[in-house]
Amino acid sequence: MDTIALGSDHAGFEYKQMLAQWLRDNGYEVRDFGTHSPASVDYPDFVHPLAEAITSGELERGILVCGSANGVCITANKHRGVRAAIAWEPELAALARQHNDANILCVPARFISEDNARIIANQFLTTAFEGGRHQTRVSKIDG
């Protein structure tokens, strides 16, 4: 069974909770890195531990949620080996996986519906990396 790393700030808390339940209902295990309430927090406090779990190989994939998805994405991408991508449409999630081998999906809770968040997460989790010419490019990301 796949374990998905899950994290958010206060703006993404409700969507994180919804996605956690949806993931469990669909056979995934969830490792919740927080936050654990809608009280105002600083997203790096939750993003860095989640990204470290990806970098270390402890977990393979994660989903981060904040209002715009920008803050969590920028923070996650500071970690070597993390390829975090913002998606507000399922096609963006698919391309992030197919062409960039994204390992963290960043969801903008203030800009999409809960239904769309589930569809985007499903697309991210069920789309494979195409490799080939894309592997050459991905291999150049970390320098």
One of 10, 48, 99, 134 is an active-site residue; which one? Answer: 99
One of 66, 73, 79, 106 is an active-site residue; which one? Answer: 66
Whether the CB-CB separation of 72 and 84 falls below 8 Å is answered with yes
Residue 10: active-site member: no
Count of CB atoms within 10 A of residue 110's CB? 11
Residue 73: active-site member: no
- What are residue 70's phi and psi, to 5 degrees? -65, -50
Query: Residue 10 corresponds to which tokens in the numbers above?
Result: 């206060």
Whether the CB-CB separation of 72 and 65 falls below 8 Å is answered with yes
Catalytic residues: 66, 99
